Amino acid sequence: MARVSFQDELCKGCGLCVAVCPKSILQLDNDRLNSKGYHPVTCIDQSRCIGCTFCAVQCPDSVITVEK
Ligand code: SF4
Ligand code: SF4
């Protein structure tokens, strides 16, 4: 099973990772703000992550780590 994690403080809420996830399990967390004032991305269902790494590759700020 794959697992995706985020360095929340580095996220600028651009949504690029959200757009490329083939399982549509990433979304910006509107309930949280990081210290930069952005809503950080979050994974709504880790069990559906297939470990494709599309999100990590797309992120311009290396926020995302995918483990298999
Ligand atoms: S590794 Fe793939 S399936 Fe998992 S969250 Fe990232 S884009 Fe989505
Ligand atoms: S692509 Fe990177 S910076 Fe943009 S929302 Fe996703 S994790 Fe945050």
Domains, the chain, with CATH or none:
3-67 (3.30.70.20)
Closest CA to 13 of 47, 43, 37, 48: 37
**23 CB within 6 A, ligand 1:** yes
**CA dist., res. 68 & res. 63, Å (int):** 17
Which residues make beta-bridge pairs with 4? 66
In whole numbers, what is the pLDDT of the chain averaged over residues?
Answer: 97
- pLDDT per residue as tens digits for the range 13-24: 999 999 999 999
- pLDDT per residue as tens digits for the range 27-39: 999 999 999 999 9
What are the tokens at 42? 């979050």
Give distance in angstroms: CA of 36 to centre of ligand 1.
24
